[in-house]
Amino acid sequence: MKNIEQITDDNLGGLAVCFYTDWDNIDFTRFPKLDGLRLIGDIFLKEGATWGMLVFTSKTAGYSQPTKQDRRGTIYPHEIKGFIPRETPELAAHLFEMNTQRRYAVLHRDHNGFMRLSGGPDYGLKFESKFNTQDSPDGRNGSTASFKADSLMPALFYSGQVTATDPVTPPSQEPSGYVRFEKGNGELIALVPAGSTFQIRSGFNFGFRILS
């Protein structure tokens, strides 16, 4: 039996970013191979298709994956959920369209830097949004949105390419006073308090990306 040891790295909750696409957009004839729960290679979309970026309100986005048992064995319910603030005629029309009987695949990256895929050759996720103005000016006007599905597999880790439609930079959700170091695929290396020292002891290449 393998030891299950405590992971001592920084541990942050919530989702940093989500990408979604119609399930039919994925070219499953070239779907990546599995190594454990890792997808090895890139997810290819059909010609002209892209991933849409879904930016939830800060500190409202999360992913849950409990387990349950039925006649098929262990079932993994997937739920990506967050809050979309306010509503415009254009946003309402888009959410209305997404609420139809379509299926989606969703890439979701957590604040620890790990990207996972929910949706695969055997299943897609349904989208649901619930709008509420609240009953007071102090309330939060907007929609609670979610992608849901049950499957025989948990979400799979993914570090390949993502071609997004007009990607935007979501508001920073890192703890105040910290600097984030990431690998090229977005995987978190470290969160370092401002003014502290971060030392790398092995060979590496680096680059800078300045977000205005």
* Tens-place pLDDT, residues 12-62: 899 999 999 999 999 999 999 999 999 999 999 999 999 999 989 988 999
At 207 the pLDDT is 56
Where does the pLDDT of residue 164 fall: very low under 50, low under 70, confident under 90, or very high at 90 and above?
Answer: confident
The pLDDT of residue 185: 47
Q: What is the pLDDT of residue 212?
A: 41
Please report whether residue 63 resides in a domain. Answer: yes
As beta bridge partners, residue 38 has 35, 157
Query: Which residue range(s) make up the domain with 53?
Result: 15-174
Q: Where are the alpha helices (DSSP H) in the chain?
A: 89-98
Task: Indicate the pLDDT class of residue 136, thresholds 50, 70 and 90.
Answer: confident
CA separation for the pair 168, 142 (Å, rounded): 20
User: Is residue 115 included in any domain, yes or no?
Assistant: yes
Q: Is residue 183 part of a domain?
A: no
* Strand ranges inside the chain, DSSP E: 15-22, 33-35, 38-40, 52-54, 62-64, 68-70, 73-85, 104-110, 115-118, 126-132, 142-151, 156-158, 178-182, 188-193
Residue 5, in any domain of the structure: no
Of all residues in the chain, what percent carry a pLDDT higher than 70? 78
Q: Mean pLDDT, to the nearest integer, of 149-161?
A: 95
User: 159 to each of 37, 54, 107, 155, 186, how far by Cα in Å?
Assistant: 12, 19, 10, 13, 8
Task: Give the chain's domain count.
Answer: 1
